[in-house]
Chains A and B, each alone.
Chain A
Amino acid sequence: MKYQCRRRVDKEDEMTCLIKGCNFVLKNIPHEAFVYAKHADSEFRFQTTNPDIFPYLLVNIGSGVSIVKVESEDKFERIGGSSIGGGTFWGLGALLTKTKRFDELLQLASKGQHASVDMLVKDIYGGSYGYLGLTGDLIASSFGKSATADKDFSKEDMAKSLLHMISNDIGQLACLYAKLHNLSRVYFGGFFIRGHPVTMHTITYSINFFTKGEVQALFLRHEGYLGTIGAFLKGAEEDNPNQYSWGENYAGSSGLMSVSPDMNPMQRARSGTFPFDMLEMDRLERQLVNLPLLQDPSSYIPDTVDLTEDALAREYWLYCFEEALDGVVKRAVASQPDMPEAALRAEKFRQKYRHKLQTLRQQPFAYGSLTVRSLLDTREHCLNEFNFPDPYSKIKQRENDIALKYYQKAVKSLDELSWEEKQFALVRGVLAGNVFDWGAKAVSDVLESDPEFGFEEAKRQLEERPWLVDSYDQWLERLKGPPHKCALFFVDNSGVDIILGVMPFVRELLSRGTEVVLASNSGPALNDVTNGELQILTERIAAMDPVIEAGLREDRLLLVQSGSSSPCLDLSRLDKVLAMVVRERQTDLVIIEGMGRAIHTNYYAMLSCESLKMAVIKNSWLADRLGGKLFSVVFKYEVPAGKPNKDCGAFSPS
């Protein structure tokens, strides 16, 4: 379900809607809040979402300033304000510079030198005021020089001086209120702030100065929508919106900074959307919650690399996704052979996604932290928008059919092995199966040129032990011990992966007396197996395999949807039912398979039970970066501190 919020609200409700909207985005949108640091490598430092958002101070800078203390969902109070706000900057700025538009004023300000208009401490002291620790560059008197010096001042300089004066003043008042009410989280919003780096910078500077770094100025990516989101939620109150979870739709949202005056005016003109900025939120049908087995949910960050901070990795991945675009378009068209307009839609998809990639190249922070996950998710959202909900559905079916034919033979050959040989073969099977992945570029090249590429071939491609990350010995030792109570297995691809790799492994766990919960995607993403598909597949396997059949019948093998439709995995946003099952079954082992879920995300995820992360690195750049080569293996078995078997999962130099 999609809602686009563009509603007008009456004045009396304004504040209520604003706060409702603010609470909503802080709770529901990952990387909503950020700290702005103009001169840092990454200008935007996104804050991880903390479920505990209260209390906070919201400083809304419209034409005036309102300072609101928010204590809970329904409890907030306007504790103060100031008449010196955005209207003062605009009104006074227009008088001083004869410049009419707010954006133009900001642009003037960004080019000006305030020191020619302001009286600085050094203008009075000749240097710093050492006794009080006031440095010479501090502004002693805003516009102080225009009172004494008889000369003309440039528009740019006056606009800059005005911007400093107003930002400093607001920052100072915000700090005084924060101190009085003992609050450390201060969010800034309103049209004065709205994606304008100049004002964010001056406000941040002011807050740092007045609190000596004790309070950080926080900004919101969707600050401009708070009122309308709030109004929508208010309207939908009977519907109890808190029972659902929400996700940002990257395809529909225009992203941060798109209204900023000095950011990409070219791009803004091209996109033709200015001045309408968009946020699209998908209401997810089910409620999403933390995996109960996360060691510390508040510090959990799904993504392994933040591409906003890692310029080299960002370059590569943006290039990689752009390169892969032709193939994705081709497959999208091929997936709908009976629809003549599919080619046109696919072309529109190509344009949209390419534009998103270009935007991200310029503004990596446009949708919060940029990660491989967000790039993948954006592509899925864009495909959906142009009605390609599942471009791989036919491929997945064909792959499944081929693999199923081979299932019994594979199981039989495994059963012929000794116990120890079998354990190793099972692990190699999961890894080899995972090589079959249309999502990874190296593999999709091979698969498309040689459809006969088979399971045995994949095994031969695998790196020999010792693997790049290799804790297999510890895993084997563990298997000699008592069986696990219940294993939660996050599965990856359809076809050979799930059928010939995962299922035999699951079968062995069941035989050992371990219950197994297979968690698969709720909706399609690449060639990942969805929960719906897995239901059918498992039935078909059960018909051939008494162990699987018994597992299903005795309720020791469960198929549960993860709540996600992404090729990656965010363990803080999982289907509530899954979390419940995990708790009920006293899950003591979590297995995560594949690059998307175990390397791009969750590589560093700390769990409170044993965990096994298995993946084949099917990207030579990434392999290189991790010190391995193409088809290097990551086998990371971890036991939380305090339990026997120490962490064995560090990358070993190879």
Chain B
Amino acid sequence: MAFNGHQRDDDDIIDENETPSKQPRSDKEMPVHFRNEPNSESATTAGRATSDRRTSQSATRHRHDSVKKTRPPFPWFGMDIGGTLVKLVYFEPKDITAEEEQEEVENLKSIRRYLTSNTAYGKTGIRDVHLELQDLTLCGRKGNLHFIRFPTHDLPAFLQMGRDKHFSSLHTTLCATGGGAYKFESDFRMMADLELHKLDELDCLIRGVLYLDSVMSSGPSECYYFENPADPDHCVQKPCTLENPYPLLLVNIGSGVSILAVYSENNYKRVTGTSLGGGTFLGLCCLLTGCSTFEEALEMASQGESTRVDKLVRDIYGGDYERFGLPGWAVASSFGNMMSKDKRESVSKEDLARATLVTITNNIGSITRMCALNENIETVLFVGNFLRVNTLSMKLLAYAMDYWSKGQLKALFLRHEGYFGAVGALLELLHPS
């Protein structure tokens, strides 16, 4: 697989950002019936990579038809309704023939145009353009995979939109995972006349992770790690792959945290979880600083200094606590300085945001490390939307894994942080397991 659809040059990116309503690029408008068909075998391997537009042109029309028969009708969505965010992945077919174009009902066209020509929807919906995967072949169709998110509390507006655009007339199956698939199932039915195909979130998560990692064989790697995590000046992001990843500790940091031990694609267990997750970070930041969005909270954290809020080992012992191997810089008590009235009055909101971030992140780090030890696993993969644009936390986690395990544990991260559940749900639509 030499070339993958996601690859773009810089012009493309600028182009997209400046003219979000741009038309599909010409090379993707070519009729594709006779080129670039995946074989049906790979199409049914539970969502494994199937994209390769340079595959043999010898795929027969016959095989194409057999794929077509099992292929669900458009539109193709995968949805993950979490506690805080709804994650939506949408496959935009780029190989639509003139014939198809003719047959395509207006509703479908309008949905496609609406989603692909905007990068923001309503007040809170956002398309993560930088994550878009282009020229992807899914189930014999070529197109782009879009990644969209909006807050769970705006789900009613989304359903209203679905109703307005007569989504239900398309008779599509909407594959959904996450707790909201259960909680809002009746709302989907009542408000938008849509039946959800509910899927388990951890199944979807693992399927999505494995798929996206495998689909990225060139270009910006899906998976990466931090080199020299102990040295802030030389700590750099390095690409890697998830080849032979098992056993793997998968840590999903959403509103809360789930920790899974994955032994193979179909063999995993949920080891534990913690309620101190992304929701806790944002919730506490909102209460402590009056901010209202994740981005705001992160921005404040990046400017703050947690050591004014936390009590460090050196604040208690004057230096390292050598007898127990505790370095002076380690946090002895998160928010410990805030026991004193004077210090409470001298800290800034930025300091508080930073301390909250560090507290939550380090705690996830230490629970993860203990699980890795108990499960005897050395590779840890961190995913989830808490890590979105949150390099601070990722570097902290990378450092904590490395430092406290004396280099034994390796922390890995994925570009599509919080979208794996939704991708897993989409794969379930295309290749029911």
Q: Which residues of A approach B to under 8 Å, CB–CB?
A: 11-12, 15, 62-64, 66, 78, 80-88, 90-92, 94-96, 100, 117-119, 121, 123-127, 129, 131-132, 138-148, 150, 153, 158, 165, 168-169, 172-173, 176-177, 179-180, 210
Contacts and interface: CB of A to CB of B under 8 A. Distances in A.
Nearest to A130: B182
Given A100-B341, A126-B182, A158 B333 contact: no
Contacts of A64: 311, 331-334, 336
A365 B317 CA distance: 37
B335 to A, nearest CB: 4
A84 B283 contact: no
B228 to A, nearest CB: 24
Tell me if B's interface is mostly helix, strand, loop or mixed: helix
A210 B279 contact: no
A88 B341 contact: no
A448 to B, nearest CB: 59
A180 B370 contact: yes
Contact of B274 (A78, A100, A172): A172
B333 A144 contact: no
Contacts of B373: 180
A68 to B, nearest CB: 9
B283 A143 contact: yes
Q: Which of A96, A129, A142 gathers most chain B CB within 10 Å?
A: A142
Nearest to B285: A147
Contact of A119 (B83, B202, B317): B83
6 contacts: A64-B331, A83-B331, A83-B334, A95-B352, A129-B179, A143-B279
Contacts of A153: 287
B367 interface: yes
B252 to A, nearest CB: 12
Contact of A142 (B270, B279, B288, B370): B279
Contacts of A176: 272, 367, 370-371, 374
Contact of A124 (B151, B180, B274): B180
Interface of B: 82-84, 151-153, 178-180, 182-185, 200, 202, 254-256, 270, 272, 274-280, 282-288, 292, 309-311, 316-317, 323-324, 326, 330-339, 341, 344, 352, 359, 362-363, 366-367, 370-371, 373-374
Contacts, number: 195
Contact of B363 (A78, A84, A96, A144): A84
Contacts of A142: 275-277, 279-280, 283
Contacts of B335: 87-88, 91-92, 95
A146 B333 contact: no
Contacts of B284: 92, 143, 146
A144 B311 CA distance: 25
A126 B184 contact: yes
B293 to A, nearest CB: 9
Given A78-B324, A126-B182, A140-B255, A210 B272 contact: yes
A124 B82 contact: yes
A172 B336 CA distance: 21
A150 B278 CA distance: 17
A63 B311 contact: yes
A210 B371 CA distance: 13
Contacts of A66: 324
A82 B330 CA distance: 10
A169 B283 CA distance: 17
A229 B252 CA distance: 45
A148 B183 contact: no
Nearest to A128: B182
A92 B338 CA distance: 7
A172 B368 CA distance: 11
A144 B84 contact: yes
A32 B399 CA distance: 42
B276 A94 contact: no
Nearest to A141: B279
Contacts of A12: 323
Given A64-B334, A180-B374, 13 more contacts: A64-B333, A83-B333, A87-B333, A91-B336, A139-B275, A140-B179, A140-B279, A142-B279, A144-B277, A146-B287, A147-B283, A165-B276, A176-B374
Given A92-B284, A141-B283, A145-B283, A169 B274 contact: yes
A141 B338 contact: no
